[in-house]
Amino acid sequence: MSSERRNDRAKARSLLDRPRLGLVWKITFWYMLLLLVTVLMLSALTFWVNREALLQEKRQALETAVSQVISGLNEGRDGQVTDIRDPDALKGKVPKGAVIQLTDPKGALIQKSGGLRLQLPVAGSEGPEIRILHGQDVYYMARPVFSGGKEVGWLQAAIDLEEIELAERVLFQQIFWLVGSALMLAVIGGLILSRQVLHPLGDLNREISRLTAEDLNRRLPLRGNGDELDQLGRNFNQMLQRLERSFKQQEQFVANASHELRTPLMVISGHADILQRWGAEEPEVVRDSAKAIGEETRTMAKLVEDLLTLAREDMRLNRVKLNLGEVVAEAAENLPFLQTRHLEYRLDDVDICGDALYLRQLTRILLENAAKYVPEDGKILLSVLKEKEEARLTVEDNGPGLPPDALERIFDRFYRVDKARSREVPGYGLGLSIAKKITTAHGGRIWAENVIPHGARFCIELPLESKAEPRNQKHERHSKRETGGKK
């Protein structure tokens, strides 16, 4: 058995460790992906800004040269072009890596200057624009030359962009190495960071894998720094506390149920033995044993029915609009255990939405509980009142009251107060648990309190019917009822 338990723990530990390793790589992957996207976006921005800056520099140099040539040609009288064939028109005005030429209106070359050996196209548009001329990227522009309002030629200029391409290649290599280095750092840093962050989670997983139903009293160690993992451990410890309490309640419930069922079963078994030995000879024994078996069977059936009621996770209520005062009055009619008790009641007309069958059962449980502990000719007060936005059902007795430690536990399953209290009506300590379940199913709350100078009061608050129609005649029943031989 111990080896099987060790195997189960080993399997649980491996299942818990596996997601932790996967989570490390997931965090590393997303960290790497985020860093990669960031670096690529910054690199693309840097690449674009650098290219635009270099291109603007080339454009500015070429436009300055063209402006100087045009200004030189217009130095004649009244701003007229002197002579586009002047050999000094282009001298000293061509920037490095550029070419400037003058052509006549038909495109015939007049003069050309510059270190760029490139055949420019026949002028037809002014540009400027980037062109590929003879397999070479250049920045090209053309300007018409006028004299006296007449076109006398074209000024064409182009500058080589090879320097920009070279700078882009160098920058691209730098970005490539930068991205590669960033990815390596992201993987290494992500692994280290994620392992550091998830290390406490691994400790929690190992502690959890060691937990079994037998040692739910164990608690996870907390570092006390108040971070999310510390909060996770604190919440898990609270869950363990609730589980431990639930397991103890379940064990106590099973033990109590077994104990309560053992007594009627032993009685039935004893009478069965009596019938087997003397039943054939003594008819009176048969009658007595059959009666005892019937009583114990009914007792056991009632206990099983109560256990099933408590075991159901939810109650299926047949909710209808009803008058709580009328339902309570019907439930209090002709109860045999009230024959020697004085019942006083005040029942207002209060509309709620609920299940009449369960509400009658709730009323009988509270009245039966009160009848157990009041003396002969004792008094029980039953009332239904409207309190603000709630309907309040109250059952009060003048018995010995409840011990202080019983006020919180009185609704626990199989809980019984001290034996000094009267137990004229048999019970198993399940009635008030069922009452609490019925109340909770109706969206209400129930509590117990002591009455000065002596006695106990059970109070139930239920929500009112929000869409209840006003009654034509509202009335209250104020009466006093004495059951028993005095009628």
pLDDT band at 117 (very low <50, low <70, confident <90, very high): low
Residues 179 and 253 both lie in one domain: no
Q: Would residue 342 count as lying in a domain?
A: yes
Residues 276 and 335 both lie in one domain: no
Q: Is the dihedral of CA 182, 183, 188, 189 positive or negative?
A: positive
User: Which residues, at least 6 apart from 16, have a Cβ–Cβ distance to it below 8 Å?
Assistant: 205, 206, 208, 209
pLDDT at residue 449, as a whole number: 93
Residue 393 pLDDT > 90: yes
Residue 428 pLDDT > 50: yes
Residues 354 and 473 both lie in one domain: yes
Residues 277 and 207 both lie in one domain: no
pLDDT band at 130 (very low <50, low <70, confident <90, very high): low
Mean pLDDT of 400-409: 84
- Of residues 387, 379, 390, the one with CA closest to residue 345: 379
Q: What is the CATH number of the domain that holds 266?
A: 1.10.287.130
Number of domains in the chain: 3
Residue 270 pLDDT > 70: yes
Q: Would residue 471 count as lying in a domain?
A: yes
Q: Would residue 304 count as lying in a domain?
A: yes
Residue 7 pLDDT > 60: no
pLDDT above 90 coverage of the chain, percent: 14
Residues 273 and 238 both lie in one domain: yes
Residue of 59 and 133 predicted with greater confidence: 59
pLDDT tens-digit map of 326-343:
999 999 887 877 777 888
pLDDT at residue 345, as a whole number: 86
pLDDT tens-digit map of 437-483:
999 999 999 999 998 888 899 999 999 976 444 433 333 333 344 44
Q: How far apart are CA 135 and CA 166, in angstroms?
A: 16
Give the lowest-confidence range in 38-52, 60-74, 304-318, 415-429. Answer: 415-429
Give the lowest-confidence range in 242-246, 317-321, 355-359. Answer: 242-246
Structure tokens of 146? 């006028």
Domain enclosing residue 277, as ranges: 228-311
Residues 186 and 307 both lie in one domain: no
Q: Would residue 264 count as lying in a domain?
A: yes
Residues 306 and 420 both lie in one domain: no
Residues 389 and 461 both lie in one domain: yes
pLDDT at residue 79, as a whole number: 54
User: Which residue type does 322 have?
Assistant: L
Mean pLDDT of 169-188: 84
Residue 425 pLDDT > 60: no
pLDDT at residue 478, as a whole number: 38
Q: Are 70 and 145 in contact (CB under 8 A)?
A: yes
pLDDT at residue 119, as a whole number: 63
pLDDT at residue 353, as a whole number: 94
User: Which residues, at least 6 apart from 247, have a Cβ–Cβ distance to it below 8 Å?
Assistant: 213, 216
pLDDT band at 395 (very low <50, low <70, confident <90, very high): very high
pLDDT tens-digit map of 365-383:
999 888 888 887 789 999 9
Residue 322 pLDDT > 90: yes
Residue of 423 and 415 predicted with greater confidence: 415
pLDDT tens-digit map of 198-219:
777 777 777 777 777 677 777 7
pLDDT at residue 336, as a whole number: 79
Q: Would residue 103 count as lying in a domain?
A: no
Q: What is the CATH number of the domain that holds 391?
A: 3.30.565.10
User: Which residues, at least 6 apart from 317, have a Cβ–Cβ distance to it below 8 Å?
Assistant: 354, 355, 358, 441, 442
pLDDT at residue 16, as a whole number: 44
pLDDT at residue 469, as a whole number: 42
Residues 330 and 361 both lie in one domain: yes
C-alpha distances in Å from residue 428, one per residue of 11, 257, 306, 411, 462:
43, 9, 9, 12, 26
**Domain limit, last residue, from 147, 181, 213:** 213
pLDDT tens-digit map of 226-235:
777 788 888 8
Residues 339 and 462 both lie in one domain: yes
**Domain limit, last residue, from 257, 291, 311:** 311
Q: How far apart are CA 70 and CA 76, in angstroms?
A: 11
Residues 281 and 354 both lie in one domain: no
Q: Would residue 114 count as lying in a domain?
A: no
Give the lowest-confidence range in 243-252, 255-264, 347-356, 404-413. Answer: 255-264
Q: How far is CA 424 from the centre of its chain?
A: 51
**Domain limit, last residue, from 292, 311, 330:** 311
C-alpha distances in Å from residue 440, one per residue of 235, 382, 433:
26, 20, 11
C-alpha distances in Å from residue 119, one per residue of 116, 132, 144:
9, 12, 18
Q: Would residue 104 count as lying in a domain?
A: no
pLDDT band at 418 (very low <50, low <70, confident <90, very high): low
Residues 197 and 258 both lie in one domain: no
Mean pLDDT of 93-122: 74
User: Which of 102-111, 346-355, 399-408 is most confident?
Assistant: 346-355
Residue of 248 and 474 predicted with greater confidence: 248
pLDDT tens-digit map of 9-66:
455 455 444 444 577 777 778 878 888 888 888 888 988 898 888 888 888 888 888 8
Mean pLDDT of the chain, nearest integer: 77
Q: Would residue 205 count as lying in a domain?
A: yes
